[in-house]
Amino acid sequence: MAEGRRDPQPGDLIEIFRPLYQHWALYVGDGYVIHVTDEEASSIFLSSSSISATRAKVKMELLKDVVKNDNWRVNNKYDRSRTPRRVKEIIRDAEQWIGEEVSYDVLTNNCEHFVTELRYGEALCDQVEEAINGGVIAAALGIVASVAAFAARALLRR
Catalytic residues: 23, 111
Longest dimension (CA), the chain: 73
Question: Hey, which residues does 74 pair with through a beta bridge?
Answer: 14
DSSP 6: S
- CA gap 26, 87 in Å, rounded: 11
Coil, helix or strand for 109? strand
* Gyration radius of the chain's alpha carbons: 20
Interatomic CA distance for residues 25 and 90, integer angstroms: 12
d(CA 127, CA 42): 22
Is 14:75 a contact under the CB 8 Å cutoff? yes
8 Å CB contact between 54 and 85: no
